[in-house]
Homo-oligomer: A and B are copies of this chain.
Amino acid sequence: MSAVDKAFHGLRHMIATGRLGAGERIPPEAELGEELGVSRGSLREAVRMLAALGVIEPRHGSGTYVSQLRPEDIIGSLSLTLELLPLPGLLEVYEIRRVLEAHVAAKAAARRTPETVKTLFSLIEAMEATDDPAEASELDHRFHAEIARAAENPTLASLLAVFRARSRKYQVFTLPEGPELRRKSDADHRVLATAIADRDPGSAAGAAEAHVTQTERWLRAFMPPVEEGAQGREKSGEADGALS
């Protein structure tokens, strides 16, 4: 096993076994390097790996600390790399997003509070009022994040946040067709928010799924034309059909 691997797995093991707890400061580089039997340089590379994965967090001048190890810490590490996905992979992500958005919408409808409903509709009004595509995108994100929050599963909420961040990079609202898409999107939001307000999980799930499907369709239509054939990975016609 290489030196960096030794340091990486050694450090990870110390965290997994609880010898280093969440939030705790790990020993200084020199000390830990000696204990693990690697040089400071190799240890630092292992530390950077765990930092990239959201497990630890070095602070210049202070020390290196184990993160809180909350699911969103771990999930968040995807946000830096998910945008490197080529388009075909992105469409697979959309299918996951569709299923999960439908789920959180249904759960949010079952558990909603009056505050949630109030927040959702005020976000909708702000969305309908603005002309700035960037602001609209931001409000759209907050709208969906609020629904995810109401579903009371922070892990799921952060996973969906990562997926949405990836989609937002394409900025469909800035296209010539933007205003039209915006109106359609706003209408979707009203249907979804109304279903949640009515405590109707089935309708909420359907509205959320339709909304994501619509977004996906725009992406397929307006984005990279995908070179013809020879890819062998495209499905035939129908999208899915089953479930939910």
- Using a CB–CB distance below 8 Å, which chain A residues touch chain B? 4, 12, 15-16, 22, 41, 44-46, 48-55, 69-71, 74-75, 77-78, 80-86, 89, 92-93, 95-96, 99-100, 102-103, 106-107, 109-110, 152-156, 159, 201-202, 205, 235, 240-244
Contact = CB atoms under 8 A, between A and B. Distances in A.
**Binding site secondary structure of chain A:** helix
B89 A99 contact: no
A-B interface, 9 closest residue pairs, ranked by CB to CB distance from nearest: A201-B242, A49-B52, A92-B155, A106-B242, A106-B243, A71-B89, A45-B48, A53-B81, A99-B103
A85 B74 CA distance: 8
Contacts of A77: 53, 77-78, 81
Given A12-B84, A48-B48, A96-B153, 12 more contacts: A4-B48, A45-B45, A49-B49, A50-B52, A53-B80, A77-B77, A77-B81, A78-B78, A96-B159, A99-B100, A201-B243, A243-B244
A36 to B, nearest CB: 16
Given A51-B49, A95-B153, A205 B82 contact: no
A93 B41 contact: no
14 contacts: A12-B80, A45-B48, A48-B49, A49-B51, A49-B52, A54-B81, A55-B84, A71-B89, A71-B93, A74-B78, A75-B78, A93-B155, A102-B243, A201-B243
